[in-house]
Each structure stands twice: as structure tokens, then as C-alpha cells.
């Protein structure tokens, strides 16, 4: 099956042959995982997004027009799912920050966040503030800093990781 043209494998999948789809997953799994990891910045999230991508691909395979273009098609699905995941995660993070500003929040929570943000290196703090607190897109952040979108994603990932460490250390110090 591995040596069959991709179009024939996809036709077999559409006819209900699950083994054929497993061959596609094996063939494209690493590429899709890499896309998901690059976009989510987290191995567990990337694994979840990869699984969701292949599930969506399986259920929507009959909509694939050009049977020889499975790779770009499944990569597009992965990118769309990851973007939606990131939007949901960003909204949850904003809600969490907003909750710290609520009357019911512990008094030290917001000050701990502000202090931790202030301790981040400038190259991480600025993109993080622009993206999460000012609501700028990665493209806008990249343009304002004169760096690539990929560099923005890297800096955001590092900033989140560092911020998490700083906040955990603050919480553990009490």
C-alpha cells in the first residue's frame, strides 16, 4: 500500500478501507505534528491537535477534490485547527487575567502577575504585552518590532514559559 499512488490510497479510504487511512497517517504524521508543535509551542497540545487533524481529515476526506494533494490539504486542516485552538487558549488566558482583577481575586494575584511581567526580559515582555494585553496580531507585533512572525511566536512561547516559572516560584515562596 505504501507504494501505491496517493490518489488510489485516498479512493480506498473513501470506500471505507481504514488501513489505507492509517497509511496516510503514517506518511504525514511527522509533518503534521511538526506544524502543530510549531503553532502551539507545546508537545501535548501538538499531539492533541495532530489527532484532531487526522480525525477531521478522515471525516472530510470525501471533500478533497484533488486526490493527489492530500498533504497540503491535511496541513491546511492542521493550521486551521491550531489557529482556532490558539484563539481559544488566548481567550482563556485573558479571562484568567481578568479574573485576577475581579473583586473576588486574592489581593496579591494581580501584583504577582505585574511583578513577574516586569521581571521578564524586554525581548519577551514587549511581544507578550502587545499580543495578549493590547490584542495585536502576530503580524502587527512582528512589524512593530522589526522581526519575523516566526520570531514573535518563539518569543511568545519563551515568554509564557518564563512567566509560568516566575509565577510558580512566587506561589511556592508563600
Domains of the chain, earliest start first: 6-87 (1.10.1740.10), 106-172 (1.10.10.10)
Q: Which three cell numbers stand for residue 35?
A: 506544524
User: CB within 8 A of 149, min separation 6: which ones?
Assistant: 138, 139, 142
Q: If you average pLDDT over residues 6-30, what whole number do you get?
A: 89
pLDDT of residue 106: 55
pLDDT at residue 39 above 70? Answer: yes
pLDDT at residue 48 above 90? Answer: yes
Predicted confidence band at 67 (pLDDT cuts at 50, 70, 90)? confident
Q: If you average pLDDT over residues 85-111, what whole number do you get?
A: 65
Average pLDDT value over all residues in the chain = 83
Predicted confidence band at 5 (pLDDT cuts at 50, 70, 90)? confident
**What whole-number distance in Å separates Cα of residue 51 and Cα of residue 36?**
10
pLDDT of residue 172: 47
pLDDT in tens, 135-159: 778 888 888 888 999 999 999 999 9
Predicted confidence band at 72 (pLDDT cuts at 50, 70, 90)? very high
> What is the Cα gyration radius of the chain?
21
DSSP conformation letters of 74-109: HHHHHHHHHHHHHHHHHHHHHHHHHHHTSTTS-HHH
For 58, phi and psi rounded to 5 degrees?
A: -65, -45
Predicted confidence band at 99 (pLDDT cuts at 50, 70, 90)? low
pLDDT at residue 110 above 70? Answer: no
Where do the H-state alpha helices sit in the chain? 6-14, 18-40, 43-60, 70-100, 107-119, 122-128, 138-145, 149-172
3-7, 41-45, 128-132: least confidently modelled range: 3-7
Distance set, CA 63 to CA 13, 34, 143 (Å): 12, 24, 37
Amino acid at each position: 500500500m505504501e507504494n501505491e499512488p496517493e490518489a488510489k490510497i485516498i479512493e480506498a479510504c473513501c470506500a471505507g478501507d481504514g488501513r489505507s487511512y492509517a497509511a496516510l497517517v503514517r506518511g504525514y504524521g511527522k509533518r503534521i505534528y511538526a506544524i502543530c508543535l510549531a503553532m502551539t509551542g507545546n508537545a501535548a497540545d501538538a499531539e492533541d491537535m495532530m489527532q484532531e487533524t487526522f480525525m477531521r481529515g478522515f471525516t472530510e476526506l470525501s471533500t478533497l477534490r484533488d486526490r493527489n494533494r492530500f498533504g497540503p490539504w491535511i496541513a491546511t486542516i492542521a493550521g486551521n485547527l491550531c489557529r482556532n485552538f490558539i484563539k481559544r487558549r488566548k481567550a482563556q488566558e485573558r479571562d484568567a487575567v481578568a479574573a485576577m482583577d475581579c473583586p473576588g481575586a486574592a489581593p496579591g494575584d494581580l501584583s504577582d502577575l505585574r511583578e513577574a511581567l516586569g521581571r521578564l526580559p524586554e525581548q519577551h515582555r514587549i511581544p507578550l504585552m502587545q499580543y495578549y494585553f493590547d490584542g495585536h496580531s502576530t503580524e502587527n507585533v512582528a512589524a512593530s518590532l522589526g522581526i519575523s512572525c516566526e520570531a514573535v511566536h518563539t518569543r511568545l512561547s519563551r515568554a509564557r514559559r518564563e512567566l509560568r516559572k516566575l509565577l510558580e516560584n512566587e506561589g511556592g515562596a508563600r
